[in-house]
Amino acid sequence: MKQDKLTWILQSNAIGKDDQLSLTDCILKSGHKVELIRVIPFIHEPADTLPKIEGPCVVYGSSGLVKLGRAANWFPCGWDGEAFELDAVNQALGELALNFEAIKTVWSRAFETASDNGWETIFIRPVSETKEFPGKVYRIDQLQDWVEKLEISGYFESNDNPAMVGPALTLGREWRVFVVDGQQVTGCEYANHGIADAVAFLPSEVTDFVEQSLRVFAPAPCFVIDVAEVFANSESALKVVEYNSINSSGFYACDKAAIVRELSKFALSNFGN
């Protein structure tokens, strides 16, 4: 018999209190169950006894919660993996990707890579969408100082991880769109010229661009896609910033109830036997 209920597992030490309360309210109103757990950062171990989960479940919290859930045989649990990594996205999307000119290297060679390419202002971020460092813009001299400090501290001896380095770009508005089973569920503006600006509205040109991008590449059945307005030579264009795990992405001004409804429906339809 096909199930019509599932369990949502929320990581209480990775979600802001307001988001936790409103998300819990949406889940309970949808008739599903909520379990709260804590995960020890970095080692991806439960801080408490894991709840007994019967039937399908979806998790929301850190990337570590997805790893923990898979180890516990929760299903479908969540969606992440190598297809979300920036080099894979750039290769799949080509010039639709914001950082398609970026070069894959490692943190210790970031300054050398930027210097060899003559970039004066550089954007650098981890390859992985789990982001052990946040993406950041540096002047070439700042990047050199930062790399040298990490090297002196011995950081690279065990943490010289892959990074994408490219020329910094001028961005305008940025939007986040939640996608479930190939369909745009909800979205919003989340930044404007680098300043946080949560606005619950998606222009038609953004939804059209997302549709175009999805026809080229989708990293999983369920995910989040970020889009930015890019300015160059007095012209603007839309580009894909990145794809993120739907199980770890912030909501900003997106419709949580729609996300819960559609993600629950997808999980039950495909994993509820």
93, part of any domain: no
CATH number for the domain that contains residue 228: 3.30.470.20
- Which DSSP letter does residue 271 get? H
Q: Per the structure block, which two tokens stand in for 227?
A: 């889009």
CA distances to 84, 124, 234, 262, 265 from 179, rounded to whole Å, are 14, 26, 32, 9, 13
pLDDT at position 42: 79
119, 154 Cβ separation under 8 angstroms: no
Q: What is the pLDDT along the chain (273 residues), one digit of tens a residue?
A: 567 789 999 999 999 999 999 999 999 999 999 999 999 987 889 998 999 898 999 999 998 999 999 999 999 999 999 999 999 999 999 999 999 999 999 999 999 999 999 999 999 998 887 666 778 899 999 999 999 998 999 988 888 889 999 999 999 999 999 999 999 999 999 999 999 999 999 999 999 999 999 999 999 999 999 999 999 888 899 999 999 999 999 999 999 999 999 999 999 999 876
pLDDT at 189: 98
AA letter at 86:
L
Total domains, the chain: 3
Question: 181 and 125: one domain?
Answer: no
> Strand order in 222-232's β-sheet?
195-199, 183-192, 170-180, 222-232, 235-244
Rounded CA gap, 99 and 241, in Å? 7
Host domain of residue 106:
99-167
Looking at residue 51, the DSSP 8-state letter turns out to be P
Question: Which segments of the chain does DSSP mark as H helices, in order?
Answer: 17-29, 63-71, 86-93, 110-116, 140-153, 156-159, 204-216, 256-271
Residue 254 lies in a domain: no
On whether residue 233 sits in a domain, the answer given is yes
pTM exceeds 0.75: yes
pLDDT at 68: 93
Q: What residue type is 97 in one-letter code?
A: A
- The verdict on residue 16 lying in a domain is yes
246: number of Cβ within 10 Å:
23
CATH of the domain at 127: 3.30.1490
Q: What 3-state class would DSSP assign to 95?
A: helix
In a domain, 187, yes or no: yes
Residue type, 193: H
The residue with tokens 């080099």 is 87
How far apart, in whole angstroms, are the C-alpha atoms of residue 203 and residue 197? 15
